[in-house]
Amino acid sequence: MAITPIVGTLAYILDHESDRVLLIRRNSRPDDDHFGKVNGLGGKVEKDENIVCGIEREIVEEAGITITEYELRGVITWTDFGPKREDWLGFIFLVTGWEGSPKSFNEEGSLEWVSRQHLLDACNIDEVTSEKSKLPLWEGDKYFIPMVFDSDPRVFYGSMPYDGEIFKAWDYKRL
């Protein structure tokens, strides 16, 4: 059965100098489908907008910076995702250059710099994560976030079905 997804963007902004990643802690609106989670920045692509313009606009809106160096790292389909059981087609970017100083807060929550190692430790699915390493990520994010930062130059294309808020599976290919 074909899906009619919401098209979105998601960016992980990496400061190479400090080896930290800018994340949003979705803690502003209790009615937010992502409330309580930590995530990259991004959002829905608007009508008549291409993916690149979408990620550029979202980062200006959410972080107050203009991105100058970024690359597509992956594309994921999320099905039956979240409390509304939506289908999403997401374009995942790694941002390594920008102009301006990031905001510390926006209408969705607080923006915070997290060490890349802390983020990757929180994604470790092979062993029990210590309390110190935990970040409130969506369960499925733990499978693709390491690929955003790895040295493989190929783009990953993944499928990540959910059952509402319950992660079900992860399948991907790289080209």
Model confidence over 119-162: pLDDT tens digits?
999 998 765 555 556 899 999 999 999 999 999 999 999 999 99
List, for residues 30-84, the tens digit of each pLDDT value.
Answer: 887 888 899 999 999 999 999 999 999 999 999 999 999 999 999 999 999 999 9
Q: Is the pLDDT of residue 100 over 60?
A: yes
Q: Which pLDDT value is given to residue 132?
A: 52
Least confident segment among 27-31, 60-64, 109-113: 27-31
CATH number for 6-167 (one of 3.30.1700.10, 3.90.1200.10, 3.90.79.10, 3.30.1360.120): it is 3.90.79.10
Q: Which pLDDT value is given to residue 54?
A: 98
Helices (H), ranges, the chain: 51-63, 116-122, 141-149
Q: Which two tokens stand for residue 134?
A: 């935990």
Count of residues in the chain: 175
Q: Which pLDDT value is given to residue 126?
A: 67
